[in-house]
Chain A
Amino acid sequence: MLIRRPSDIAPSEITPRALFEDRRQFIRDAGLFAAAAGLAVTGVHPRSARAQTGKGFPNLKKGAYPIGEASTPFKDVTSYNNFYEFGTGKEDPAENAGTLKPRPWSVSVEGECAKPRRWDLDELLKLAALEERIYRLRCVEGWSMVIPWVGYPLAELIKRAEPASKAKYVEFTTLMDPKQMPGQRMAVLDWPYVEGLRIDEAMNPLTLLTLGLYGDVLPNQNGAPVRVVVPWKYGFKSAKSIVRIRFTEQEPRTAWNKAIASEYGFYSNVNPQVDHPRWSQARERRIGEFTKRPTLMFNGYGEQVASLYTGMDPKKFF
């Protein structure tokens, strides 16, 4: 396996820190400047303007696994989200996620491993070379998007923790803070949100430790500042705003599985042949398209991941 040496320069160092942390002001100023220059900038939301500058992560290398499908517009990717920590409506996260403070942030890596430690966000940003990975995202509800994420394989982080032989699973825990995440005041799910993967799934090169999208840092509503993306599984398996990564011997009890075990299994691999008990998973609506398209086995990533599940009955391990 080819292991690329991480870049020594964190993107946060390339972008002047003052700007990085006060980019809203920067955008306001830029907006004023542009307006003065006679450019039409009215109606541009500061947050979207920020990410659309695309200057957060310069010189991103184009990542592996190109799919040759058009990316879903930035506006849709950042305004149509399932992130119950900010409300159960699709528009709620974009509206309410302003209370989340993505800096300072750290992720604790712990559990069955030789080198547990706490990683500061800036350390994570330069832990490995950031690349752009354009992945399909298939929601369990029957819609899908194509999103240009920014990150590197989660395996990079896992290897540095030196997991023990007992480490059979990896558990991800989202931030628990009802002040920052007002949706946690409602007992829709058993907070904090917990997700998990088998360790071989977590080590698969497709599994992305994700720090950005559309060339810039993650907008809050998309799971800032750090999340995972597991493109062959339904969207809810990809934990957002992660504060803890833990190696366990037992299968983690995940949030949706605890909520409705008969509908949301631990594996939740995208599979057009295994229906959700209440609706079909055979087709999906790609956001921005009119008619539905057929859903692909493993969301089209069978070549990379099918071998992980040989001999397992997908109806039993759904």
Chain B
Amino acid sequence: MIPSWRPDAGQARWLKVALFLLCLAPFVRLGWLAWHHGLGANPIEHITRATGWWTLTFLMITLTVTPARKLLSQPWLLRLRRMLGLFAFFYGSLHFTTYLWLDQFFDVGAIIKDVIKRPFITLGFSAFVLLIPLAATSTNAMVRRLGARRWQWLHQAVFVIGTLGVIHFWWLVKKDITEPLIFAAILSVLLGTRVVYRLRDTRPEARNRSVVRPYPRGRGAPSRGKA
């Protein structure tokens, strides 16, 4: 087992700054390409694809935090999860805006028809709508107001969102489903580990223990060590 490392306040801050810049890189790259006419013959399609791909990727990375922190015994990883989740929301918002503005040009009639008639749009739209309350309740204050247990219950929606996102991708490709399949495989592993942890945890207090306070009073992540 890798020894559990606990970053101090200064290290944690730097870690977060570095991660923030890293998460922003795909956005900066898109901007750079757009500025230099590097988005190819169909820039709007390029932007739609890229922002959608990064939304899914950040959802997957966010869902990796819990299994990774358990498997590697690195509880501090939990402190990065909020930022990763918010970046999923950030790229999701860009994706959604691209659709509304660049793709449909705010043609409300066409959008409503699309959402109702096109199953892949319906799923993508639902996934985005479900993401909004999660982003809205991501602050420490909201966690406190909701209480850890209700907060955790609400945020389990991310499993549904991830699944909807992958099916959304699957249904929109014409024939080559390689990439959606890869996302589906990753998602299955990530959800599967959670099922395994649940099944293994047979102790009577397991149901309560499974509730980890995401951001307890004061600063920092829960110092629970191995869960």
Contact = CB atoms under 8 A, between A and B. Distances in A.
B118 A279 contact: yes
A259 B175 contact: yes
B105 A291 contact: yes
A278 B105 contact: no
Interface residues of B, number: 20
A20 B40 CA distance: 30
B40 A278 contact: no
Interface of A: 75-76, 79-80, 84, 88, 90-91, 141, 143, 186, 188-189, 259-260, 275, 278-280, 282-283, 285, 287-288, 290-292
A79 B171 contact: no
Given A278-B120, A292-B105, A79 B175 contact: no
B119 interface: yes
A143 B42 contact: yes
A278 B175 contact: no
B41 interface: yes
25 contacts: A76-B41, A79-B40, A80-B42, A90-B41, A90-B42, A91-B40, A143-B42, A143-B45, A188-B176, A189-B175, A259-B175, A278-B119, A278-B171, A278-B172, A279-B118, A280-B110, A280-B114, A280-B117, A282-B110, A283-B110, A285-B44, A287-B42, A288-B41, A290-B44, A292-B105
A13 B102 CA distance: 49
Contacts of B45: 143, 285
Interface string B94-125: 00000000110100001001100111100000
Contacts of A275: 117
Contacts of B175: 84, 88, 188-189, 259-260
B42 A285 contact: yes
Interface string B25-51: 000000000000000111011000000
Contacts of B119: 278
Contacts of B117: 275, 280
